[in-house]
Chains A and B, each alone.
Chain A
Amino acid sequence: MSGINTVTMPKWGMEMVEGEIAEWHVSEGDSIVEGDDLLDVETSKIVNTVTAPASGVVRRLLGAVGEIVAVGKTLAVIAPADVPDDEIERLLAGAAASAPENKRVDAPAAEPPQPRSAPAATPEQAPGKVSGGASAAGLSGGGDDSGVAATPVARRVARAQGINLNQVPASGRHGRVTLADIEAILEANGRHLEKPHSSARPEMRSQRDDSKVSATPVARRLARELGVNLLDCRRSGRHGRVSKADVEAAAPRASVDSGAAGRADGQSPSRVESRSLSGMRRTIAARLQGSKRDAPHFRVQVDVEVDALLAVREELNRRYSEAKVSLNDLLVKASACALVAVPGVNVQFDGETVQRFGDADIAVAVALDDGLITPIVRGANHKGVVAISNEVRDLATRARLGTLRPEEFQGGSFSISNLGMFGVDRFDAIINAPQGAILAVGAAEQKPVVRQGELAVATVLTLTLSSDHRIIDGALAARFLSALRGFLETPATMLA
């Protein structure tokens, strides 16, 4: 396996099972240096760049732009020019036989050290890193290294460099691995620590040369387009690179500056602002477009009297100082109960297979300044209302700050969208694919109702369920709404 390196689809985050090839930056036959950009991969959440694990010649590119590739599958082969083609073919044949389709679990540090006959064919590095040659793979292997004694700095640098501390001979006091040990082993493997970027960021827009700032190709191009200097950007990407979002964040500042300059030139300011979609908006656009296109939506609506529910809420909030339960929290709980009672709605459908869920993982739509996100209350059927309420509060807080972890907003078997606080009477929502249904909640308002021929006043809420008719029929949706209404109008039944 002399010097042949395969590049596989990385796993960025718990729920990533596949990625779309967004752009190739190299062609077969190109000579490349370790760290060069190979391709951009787009997932439902991010666009990021895969870099070369080693220097050599690009011998094979597997997959065209737009192709969706499972995590762990081979994307490219890099090898010295003198490696014969049939050796590469042999390797690829072997990789295809052994590479898993969809279920590479990414836990590089926790994996038991296993001698591998074909180390280059299996990704076993940190997310975002592509598997390298024998030396790089050797440094990253070795099982859980959390118990290895190391100075705090050494530990951090090792993590950043993808080095398993088990591989590093320790020379420090008390047998600790020190920074010098990491540097030594990197050097022994022909690598070196990058000099840190200057952290000084000037207040004004920088004019200085930003060609040395490490950035994703997309970010670099976007920055040029928007007139943003990369020195003015945060570096939130992998490996401390400037990502597209960082450039976009810096863009408003830059455009204010250039706007002022434009006026100084005597040009009248433009009345139309054109702006490319943010990453989040683009994701929302693509996903909702897809849902509306693929899933035949139909809606079922029901009015619910919630006076008893409001009394329960008041009682809970009066009794428990740790609770500030909202109507929405109770809706999450009631929906969980209804999903368990009518499991046909508790499903995901990817166009081919229906997945039925035992637990109710309920996604709650949270509005952000520029978009929305749907963090998930997992196993809501097992949780009390106060626990659900505090979980939603935490998720919503962190959703707005952008500190949710991927596993906190990916997945889910059902969604709730509530516009009641804006005084919306009723509305219908687009299904959060691949889920089977979404509940749209309007405002609870006092309305006249007729009971046994008498006019009375009740607090009424309108619920609209949008369902995917491919897997949920009208009667099933109606049964679900009826169950949900039952739980909401007789809250005690949620205790059963």
Chain B
Amino acid sequence: MKTRYDLMVVGGGPGGYVAAIRASQLGFRTALVEREALGGVCLNWGCIPTKALLRGAEIAHTLRTAGDFGFTVGPSSLDLEVLVGHSRSVAMGLSKGIAQLLRKHSVTHIKGHARLEGKCSLSVEGEEGAQTYQAKHIVLATGARPRQLPGIVVDGELIWGAREAMTPTRLPQRLLVIGAGAIGVEFASLYADLGSEVTLVEMAGGILPGADDEIATRAQAALSERGIRILTRHSLVQLAPRGQDALTATLASAEGSNTLEVETDRAILAVGVTGNVEDLGLETVGAEVSRGFLVTDDWGYTGVVGLYAIGDVAGPPWLAHKASHQAVQCVERIAGVGHRQALQMSRVPTCIYSRPQIASVGLTEAQARADGRPIRVGRAPLQANGKALAMGEGKGLVKTLFDEATGELLGAHLIGPEVTELVQGFTVARQLEATENDLLDTVFPHPTLSESMHESVLDALNRAIHH
């Protein structure tokens, strides 16, 4: 039997479920296929559950620094099972919420693994066997998964991927984190706060490759200060079990001259992600895959009739909010409504939930200078921000980059407490193509961390008042 839909979405993450709901709103008869839990990695194994764990880490930090505020706190201990349980229940609750949203918006939820059978045709293998569906438009939002390193098997016991790192049963005394991108840095920060001795290994010259150099340097210093051992310009050669409950990692320095052995109890592999492009039947319709991700135009069209891809599976940046935004754009384009401008990646903000937090939008200073245009750089240290000092979190920086000629806000890079909540102000400014003057004219409330955003703009014009 064949069932027809106007539009089908494969994958129930923040790209897929948003695409399905928007499509249904626009009048498409819509179905969404998901083989696992609704919500995708973001909700089940990424953003949301890690934030629940990080809240635990923050509390650990608060307990340790309570003395600065006059509190005497007795010896505290962590029941990891309770914390992980909290994280899982938040994830599960939200996943159920999405099932409800789909029902509310009359999106049919099909459980199973979807495979393209041909153009505009999907077969879904579910618990009750396979069924074929026809859809004029198919949106692939299958996401991505952690990239593996050759010769290293994520066994879930000694060597963890993100999933295991999120559901530990016991806190490892020593932890090795391989890869210092956003995910690696978040786990390093989390486990260090919970009490593990953390070693962070990165092949590049510094942590957070891709971030603004100045911010990355500050982040590296902050993490080092917290006792995290950071080995940059080192790559993993071997990761061998030593007994039942420990590992020996062999690291080679970039120069290749010497190797280093690190003893650890557990290791987390966080060396980037690769798109979920396998077993989708892409070859039957001739969709192009490059470096593990589907190739699309700016609107998600794959070049195969009626086939679109959005979110992680369509390439970087691998961010839930990018996926959701692409979802809406892709579906609205099919429907012939909405905006005429495709999503510009330089307007997509990035947030890293380490301690300190890091957030950014737009070009880094190096990228802006590489363009060759004269730029103005503003810096506002949080040391000069009353609210940050009151919070006892006076370390941090708000950095802004402007085109000297046009005044366009080219980029903003923040490190410090709650900066993930601040970056949206700069994101709006970029979207509206605001100039330094528009930001100067904007009133920022006192006392807030956001005042440092204003101060940074002032500084870019050599008019800083508070520092």
Contact = CB atoms under 8 A, between A and B. Distances in A.
B135 to A, nearest CB: 11
B260 interface: no
A389 B120 CA distance: 14
Nearest to B288: A321
Contact of A323 (B305, B336, B407): B305
Given A324-B306, A400-B27, A317 B119 contact: yes
Given A321-B305, A323-B305, A403 B336 contact: yes
A398 B336 contact: yes
B246 to A, nearest CB: 51
Contacts of A152: 432
Nearest to A369: B27
Interface string A391-407: 00110111011111000
Contacts of B466: none
Interface-centre pick from A151, A389, A390, A401 (highest chain B CB count, 10 A) = A401
Contacts of B305: 321-324, 389-390, 393
A116 interface: no
B461 interface: no
B93 interface: no
B366 interface: no
A373 to B, nearest CB: 14
A393 B136 contact: yes
Nearest to B120: A324
Given A174-B437, A322-B305, A397 B120 contact: no
Given A173-B438, A397-B6, A321 B28 contact: no
Interface in A362-417: 389-390, 393-394, 396-398, 400-404
A341 B459 CA distance: 73
Interface string A132-165: 0000000000000000000110000000000000
Given A173-B441, A321-B285, A321-B286, A401 B306 contact: no
Nearest to A323: B305
Nearest to B285: A321
Nearest to A320: B305
B432 A324 contact: no
B205 interface: no
A162 B28 CA distance: 34
B287 A394 contact: no
A403 B119 contact: no
Nearest to A317: B119
Given A397-B334, A401-B27, A402-B27, A321 B435 contact: no
A401 B28 contact: yes
Contacts of B27: 400-402
A311 B26 CA distance: 37
A173 B437 contact: yes
Contact of B303 (A321, A389, A393, A404): A321
Contacts of A389: 305
A396 B432 CA distance: 35
A247 to B, nearest CB: 19
A322 B303 CA distance: 6
B287 A321 contact: yes
A396 B337 CA distance: 14
B137 interface: yes
B345 interface: no
A400 B27 CA distance: 8
Given A173-B435, A324-B306, A401 B335 contact: yes
B262 interface: no
A393 B306 contact: yes
Contacts of A402: 27
B432 A397 contact: no
A55 B430 CA distance: 44
Nearest to A396: B136
B304 A174 contact: no
Contacts of B441: 173
A323 B118 CA distance: 11
> Which of B304, B334, B336, B432 has the largest number of chain A CB atoms within 10 A?
B336
B438 A401 contact: no
Contact of B304 (A322, A393, A400): A322
A153 to B, nearest CB: 10
A146 to B, nearest CB: 13
A398 B335 CA distance: 6
Given A173-B435, A173-B437, A317-B119, A403 B335 contact: yes
Contacts of A321: 119, 285-287, 303-305
A484 to B, nearest CB: 26
Nearest to B441: A173
B284 to A, nearest CB: 10
Interface string A450-480: 0000000000000000000000000000000
Contacts of A173: 435, 437-438, 441
B350 to A, nearest CB: 25
Contacts of B120: 324
Contacts of A403: 26, 335-337
A401 B119 contact: no
Given A321-B287, A323-B305, A390-B305, A397 B136 contact: yes
A203 to B, nearest CB: 11
Nearest to A399: B336
A435 B278 CA distance: 51
Contacts of A394: 336
A390 B438 CA distance: 44
Considering residues B28, B137, B335, B337, which has the most beta carbons from chain A within 10 angstroms of its beta carbon? B335
Contacts of B336: 394, 397-398, 401, 403-404
B145 to A, nearest CB: 26
A393 B305 CA distance: 10
Interface string A74-105: 00000000000000000000000000000000
Given A173-B435, A173-B437, A321-B305, A397 B137 contact: yes
A404 B334 CA distance: 12
A397 B119 contact: no
Contacts of A317: 119
Interface string B79-108: 000000000000000000000000000000
A174 B439 CA distance: 13
Contacts of B286: 321
29 contacts: A151-B432, A152-B432, A173-B435, A173-B437, A173-B438, A173-B441, A321-B285, A321-B287, A321-B303, A321-B305, A322-B304, A322-B305, A323-B305, A324-B120, A324-B306, A389-B305, A390-B305, A393-B305, A396-B136, A397-B137, A397-B336, A401-B26, A401-B28, A401-B336, A402-B27, A403-B26, A403-B336, A403-B337, A404-B336
Closest A-B pairs by Cβ, 4 of them: A321-B286, A398-B336, A401-B27, A324-B305
Given A151-B432, A397-B334, A401-B337, 14 more contacts: A173-B438, A174-B407, A321-B303, A321-B304, A321-B305, A324-B305, A324-B306, A390-B305, A393-B306, A396-B136, A397-B136, A397-B137, A401-B335, A403-B26
